[in-house]
Each structure stands twice: as structure tokens, then as C-alpha cells.
Amino acid sequence: SNNTDFLLSIENLSVSFDGFKAVNDLNLYVDENEIHVIIGPNGAGKTTVLDLICGRTKATDGSIKFHNKELTSMKEHQIVRQGVGRKFQNPSIYEDLTVLENLEISFPRGRNVFGALTFKRDGQVIDRIQEIAEMVFLNTVLDKQAALLSHGQKQWLEIGMLLIQDPELMMLDEPVAGMSVSERQQTAKLLNEITKGRSVLVVEHDMKFVEDIAHRVTVLHQGKILSEGSMAKVQADPAVIDVYLGH
Ligand code: ADP
């Protein structure tokens, strides 16, 4: 197939830290409306791949194309503007503000006809915030101070803050770490909901959760792809079993 059909095309991507290749000649593709999960043992290079895509880490070699636009030469804020959003493991929410205020300040500020930055709290903005608050299960706690939310709710709030910006590709680093079973189930539902019209690239350790959400799985090992395909396929791959269970 033609690689320009993918939303995200990573080709021959490498990064070295003091001569150590954390990502080694990687090819990875993300389709539209796909939940693509990267798994692999600690130190495999999973987080580094997300760092490279969002521009936090600069590639030593290779290409990252989003909608056929090269990202490797762009700065982090430019990459965000292309429609690539990233959630880190620790939520970067404003603890002193309410849930509603956190969502409001995440709303992209447009420019009016005079070129000035605008932040209109109009009906459309309110509707969108309401819709997203419902999606992330926080519509009943809009006036609550973010600091008082449960761990899971804080994770959802940050996903909501990303959704407000409407990224086409959303990257999540261990979104269900520390969540209860029911919170994990709700998060799976949430991810299925948000891939209508966008793609999600997830780094995850919780295999039950990966089974629930992944359309496609890439197994990384020592900066390279060990296996790729459906969760059922990679779980049955002897190379994967070998790496996870040891010798
Ligand atoms: P994973 O997310 O799969 O656990 P990482 O991407 O965090 O793996 O790390 C891959 C390897 O790269 C590790 O050996 C890690 O120590 C190394 N690494 C990651 N980032 C840096 C950095 N900024 N400087 C030096 N080494 C790094």
C-alpha cells in the first residue's frame, strides 16, 4: 500500500543518547480512526517514540510525517498546531482551578479579523465544553476544584483538556496507570468514543486494557519492532513470548 495514506508515517527513525540507540531504524504507521498501542519491556524505547513525535526529543535520523508534513524539523508548539496532542503520565492540570476552568483555559484561542487573540465564552464554546465534560465523565463535578478529584478523574480531565483542542492524533502515555478496574473500563469506553474522527497512539503496560482497546499493537524491544498486528497475533508470537517470559 501507499504509505502516504496513513495519518502518521514514521520511517527509518533513530535516536542515539551518547551512542546508545534508544530507537533504532523504526518504521511505524498510524491509520485514521485507529487505536494503536505500543507495548514492550521497560527501556524498549516506547516513551522515546512519543517524545520524538511531539518534538520533545530530536531524531538523529529518519522521518515523521503527519498528513505528509515532516514533523522532525518542527518545534513542539508547531507540532501541537498540526493537530498532535500528547498526554504525559503525570497529569498537567491546574490543581487550584475548577474542572470547568481547566477545560475553559484549554480552549484554543482564535484570532479575530484584526489579528488579535480572542477568547469568547460564547454558546458554542460552552456547548463543546459540556459535551467533552460528559465524554470524560466529569459533567457532574464541573465546579469542583481539580485538586479534589480522584486520581482517575484527574487523568480524564487531562484527556478532556486535550480533546478541547481537537487533535487528530492523541498520544497517551500509560493512561490507566493507577486506575481502578471500573475506571479502566470507563477509559476503554472513552477511547473508543474519541476515535470517531481521530487516532490514538497509546503506550501501555496493562495487557487486559490493551486487549480491550487496541486495533493494532506494535511490540518494541531494544528500539526495534519485535512484532506487529492484532493483540491476538502478537500475543501468540514466540518472539514476544520469549521477551516477556524470559528464557
Ligand atoms: P520505555 O518507555 O520503553 O520504558 P524509554 O523510551 O523511556 O523506554 O527509554 C529507552 C532507553 O533510552 C532507556 O535505556 C532510557 O534510559 C534511554 N533514554 C531515554 N531518554 C533518554 C535521554 N533523554 N537521555 C539518555 N537516555 C535516554
Is 218 close to ligand 1, i.e. is its CB under 6 Å away? no
Question: Could you tell me the pTM of the whole model?
Answer: 0.92
Is 24 close to ligand 1, i.e. is its CB under 6 Å away? no
Same domain, 75 and 97: no
Same domain, 185 and 117: no
Which helix (DSSP H) or strand (DSSP E) does residue 11 occupy? Answer: strand 8-17
Residue at 194 is within a domain: yes
Percent of residues, the chain, with pLDDT higher than 70: 91
Cα–Cα nearest to 223, from 17, 76, 58, 71? 17
Question: 196 is in which domain, residue-wise?
Answer: 1-83+168-247
Same domain, 205 and 247: yes
For residue 48, the CA-to-ligand 1 centroid distance in Å is: 6
Nearest CA to ligand 1 atom 23: 17
Is 40 close to ligand 1, i.e. is its CB under 6 Å away? yes
For residue 217, the CA-to-ligand 1 centroid distance in Å is: 20
The ligand 1 atom at the shortest distance from the C-alpha of residue 44 is: 3
The whole-chain average pLDDT of the chain stands at: 91
- CATH value at residue 247: 3.40.50.300
| Domain's final residue, options 166, 188, 206 | 166
Same domain, 145 and 27: no
Residue at 4 is within a domain: yes
Q: What is the ipTM of this complex?
A: 0.97
Nearest CA to ligand 1 atom 24: 17
Same domain, 142 and 198: no
Is 102 close to ligand 1, i.e. is its CB under 6 Å away? no
Same domain, 9 and 71: yes
The pairing of strands 84-87 and 169-173 is parallel
| Domain's final residue, options 114, 148, 166 | 166
Same domain, 178 and 197: yes
What pLDDT digit, counting tens, does each position of 99-144 carry? 999 999 888 765 555 555 555 566 777 888 999 999 999 999 999 9
Top mutation candidate among 15, 17, 18 for ligand 1, by most atoms within 8 Å of CB:
17
Residue 229, C-alpha cell as written in the block: 498486528
pLDDT band at 188 (very low <50, low <70, confident <90, very high): very high
Same domain, 181 and 162: no
Residue at 51 is within a domain: yes
Same domain, 104 and 117: yes
For residue 184, the CA-to-ligand 1 centroid distance in Å is: 26
Residues 41/243, Cβ–Cβ less than 8 Å: yes
Angstrom CA distances, 227 to 105, 205, 232, 243, stand at: 41, 16, 11, 11
Residue at 88 is within a domain: no
How many separate domains does the chain show?
2
| Domain's final residue, options 144, 166, 188 | 166
For residue 23, the CA-to-ligand 1 centroid distance in Å is: 9
Residue at 137 is within a domain: yes
Nearest CA to ligand 1 atom 5: 45
Same domain, 77 and 147: no
